[in-house]
Copies of this chain bind each other. A is one copy, B any other.
Amino acid sequence: MLRFSTRSRYGLRAMIELALNYSPTQPTPLVRVAESQDISEGYLEQLMTFLRKGGLVRSVRGPQGGYLLTRVPSKITVGEVIRCLEGPISPTGCVSEDNPEICQRSSACITKVLWERVREAIASVLDSTTLEDLCKDADKLRQIQEADNYSI
């Protein structure tokens, strides 16, 4: 019921991990991502395929290989990541961002404007947040946690 699947949640966390380790040249192997984010490596592999085909990451095979962001974290929005993993934002079939289904009953269309507003509300949050934003949050979070450790 209106949930993001693990596809989005794991995939985004993987992207955050790549953003935290960001380097334009040195790839991060998937084992590392899987471990530090506690996600099944095999499953993550599949998710990376979506992200690669969507052009958000590129891969390097062989030893010292792994995945790299194709752009700096500030130029990648959460909206792009989610769409890449799950397709167009579409709380109902008739208001998909892509090619919405055409509904017959005029009465059904009463609700259409509502669903469109929901779609826009979701998209606006996702599109206004970048990976860099989330990394900054992560930094803040870590600082707070360290402060806590000292005080204990």
Contacts and interface: CB of A to CB of B under 8 A. Distances in A.
Given A117-B125, A118-B122, A108 B13 contact: yes
Interface in A114-147: 114-115, 117-118, 121-122, 124-126, 129, 134-135, 137-138, 141-142, 145
A4 B5 contact: no
Q: Which size bracket describes the interface of A in this complex? A: 35 or more
Given A134-B111, A137-B110, A37 B5 contact: no
Contacts of A134: 110-111, 114
> Would you call the interface of chain A mostly helix, strand, loop, or mixed?
helix
Contacts of A113: 137
A3 B106 CA distance: 21
Q: How many copies does the complex hold?
A: 2
A65 B75 CA distance: 59
A115 B37 contact: no
A36 interface: yes
A141 B109 contact: yes
Shortest 9 CB-CB contacts between residues of A and residues of B: A1-B86, A121-B121, A110-B138, A117-B125, A121-B125, A118-B125, A4-B91, A110-B134, A4-B92
15 contacts: A1-B8, A1-B87, A2-B122, A3-B91, A3-B92, A37-B107, A78-B114, A106-B141, A106-B145, A107-B138, A110-B134, A110-B135, A110-B137, A117-B125, A117-B129
